[in-house]
Amino acid sequence: MPGIGIDVGSTYTKYCIAEDEKILKLFAEKTPLRQRDYFERKLEAFKEEYPGAMIFSCGYGKSNVSGIKSVNELTALAAGFYKLTGESGTILDIGGQDTKIITEENGRLKDFFINDKCAAGSGMFLTNTLELTGVSFEDIDLKEAYDSELRLSSTCAVFAQSEIVMMIADNRTEEEIINAVIRQILIKAKPLLEKTGEKSIYLSGGLSLIPGIAPFAEKILKVKCKIPENGIYLSAIGCAFMER
Partner 1 sequence: MDTVIGIKTRLMREYYRYFSKYAKGKVPEEPVAWVTAFTPVEILKALGISYYYPESYAAVIAASEKEQEYIKESEKRNLSRDCCSYSCCFNGSLLLEEGPRGVPPKPDVLIATNNQCNTLPAWWNTLADEYDVPLIVLDYPGESCDRAEAASYVKKQHEMLTEAMEKLSGRRLDEEELLRLVNNSERSVEAWNLLISNLKTKDISPTTLFDDINFLITARCNEDTAKLYDMMDKECGTLEDADPLSIPVFWLGYPLWYHADRYLKELMDGLRITGSNYITWWSLDYSGEDVYEKLFNAYNYTFLNLLQKSRDKRLHKLIEDSGAKGAIVLHNKSCKCDFVSARNVGLPQAELDTDMIDREYLNLEKAKLQIELLKETICRG
Partner 2 sequence: MKILSMSGFIPEHISDTIRFTQYGGDRNISNYCGYASDFISRVMADDTIDGAVYPKSCDSTRILTSYLSECNKFLFQFGIPPYNVSGAKEHLACEIKAYKEAVEAHYGVRIDDIKERAEFINKRNEALRKTYEELDSLSYSDYMEKLHEMLEKPLAMQEWSGDIRKREKTGKRVYVVGSFLSDTRLAKIIEDASLTVAGDDLPESGRLVYSEPVETEGDIYLNIAGSILSMRPSPTQVSFKKTMDHDFESIRKKDVRGIIFLTQKYCEPYDYLYSVFSKEADKAGIPAVQIKVNGTEDTGKAALALEAFADMI
E runs forming strands in the chain: 3-8, 12-19, 22-30, 54-58, 69-70, 89-94, 99-105, 108-114, 200-204, 224-226
Look at residue 112 and give the partner it binds from partner 2, partner 1, none, a contact being a CB closer than 5 to 8 Å depending on partner kind.
partner 2
By CB under 8 A, name the binding residues for partner 1. Answer: 153-155, 159, 163, 166, 191, 194-195, 197
Q: Helices marked H in 50-88 — which ranges?
A: 73-85
Shortest spacing between CB 36 and partner 1, in angstroms: 38
Looking at the DSSP assignment, which residues form a beta bridge with residue 19?
22
Quick one: 60 or 137, whose CB is closer to partner 2?
60
Binding mask 109-128 for partner 2 (x = CB under 8 A): xxxx-x-xx-----------
Asked whether the beta carbons of 90 and 201 are under 8 A apart, the reply is yes
Please state, in angstroms and rounded to a whole number, the distance separating the CA atoms of residues 132 and 174: 10
Whole-angstrom CA distances from 144 to 104, 187, 202 are 32, 20, 21
Position 7 contacts partner 2 (CB under 8 A)? no
Interface with partner 2 includes 105 (CB under 8 A)? no
Binding partner selected for residue 163 from partner 2, partner 1, none, CB under the kind-specific 5 to 8 Å limit: partner 1
Q: Is 74 in the site for partner 2 (CB under 8 A)?
A: yes
Q: Which residues of the chain form contacts with partner 2 (CB under 8 A)?
A: 60, 72-75, 98, 102, 108-112, 114, 116-117
